[in-house]
Amino acid sequence: MSDRRSPGLRDRAAVAGIGWTPYSKNSGVSTLELALRAISAALTDCGLTAADVDGLVTHGVGDSTPAATVGAALGVSDPHLLLDVWGGGSMSAATIGTAAMAVASGQAETVVCWRALNARSEFRMGGTGRAAPTLVEFQYQVPYGLFTPPQQYALVGRAYLEAAGAGAEDLGRVAITQRVHAALNPRAMMREPLDMETYLGSRWIAEPLRLFDCCLETDAAIAVVVTSAERARDLPQPPVLVAAAGTGGGHSLFSDDRPDWSVSAAADLAPRLYAKAGIGPDGIDVAELYDAFTPLVLMQLEDYGLAPRHGAPDLVASGATALGGKIPTNTHGGHLSEGYLHGLNHVAEAVIQLRGHAGERQVPGAATALCTGQPGYVSGVTSALILRSDR
């Protein structure tokens, strides 16, 4: 049983509102418009207005409208917190953690966090057909043909499969399980059934990654409203408390002293995160794990202590990560089947589960959720959250 009176961030801030735009292949609007629509929906969800907002935090990789522009469009003339966090999905959880720290310290009272991007119709980080990115490591990747994330994560996936003695079917079970969850999610882009034959018959993207091992490039926005726990209790929706937040290091493709690429930086972050929340892995009821590619789910199940080392394939095969299992994982379908919003849709799903509002995909009695960002590969950084209901 955790001590709610513990000092620090624990349970002092809460997610009060969530909002999103439809997921699509072509939004037809700017990332500014997407951000404003999602933020408006999140504020409506918790009964607040733009006049209540005094903090704005977003994350991106040069592919979205800056926080200052969004704040001006909202009419926030004197933001107490204004932050653009550089990083794709690696820093998704960090945006919520930063907002929670600002609220807990009194720097801001109501902070909106969001991710808005037209990743399918406009700009894709790491994609070809545009100028080379201004990253030091790019000069070391190009000679070897490492241009895109699937190529980069194929190396990571191969390292894990060899270390764990796993194979294609183990990756397939991750994609299939999440597709079952997506079928119960009316927002999901991919809801049709997926079986092992279809999975194995899909085309290679970059071995060992097939088509269904890869996330869905998506146009959409997600927004989250963070305020104090006390204030959230007076708002319409059940508060979801920020029990812990953390950031960590990671792996770089061009210079890395980590001896085992099958273990992500999440393994270093996890003990700190659990200590801050006052619980252990066995205290997590639902896991929303960053799943740009299927191997990352297996790796994080192990690195966050939800499965023994090299035991994640057997855990998934047993049905433990499915709805009704011991640790339901990516209950909305994840990036593989719902849509790729760089981690904030995982936070929104955790909030829905902890509110008890997930309908057919509801995890009975869900009181705690682990939400993770990309576990540190390529970017060299990672972040994660533990959220808990206020019941």
Q: Which residues are catalytic?
A: 290, 340
Give the chain's count of helices (H) and strands (E): 13, 11
Enclosing H/E stretch for 97: helix 92-105
The torsion defined by the Cα of 373, 31, 64 and 40, in degrees rounded to 10, comes to: -60
For residue 273, which amino acid is it? L
Q: Which residue is listed with tokens 């796993």?
A: 166
Paired with 293 in beta bridges are: 214
**CB-count exposure of residue 66 (10 Å: 0-12, 13-18, 19+):** middle
For residue 303, CA distances in Å to 5, 307, 313 come to 28, 8, 13
d(CA 289, CA 315): 15
Q: Which residue is listed with tokens 């997506």?
A: 182
Could you tell me the end-to-end alpha-carbon distance of the chain, in angstroms, rounded to an integer? 14
Ramachandran angles phi, psi of 42, nearest 5° = -65, -40
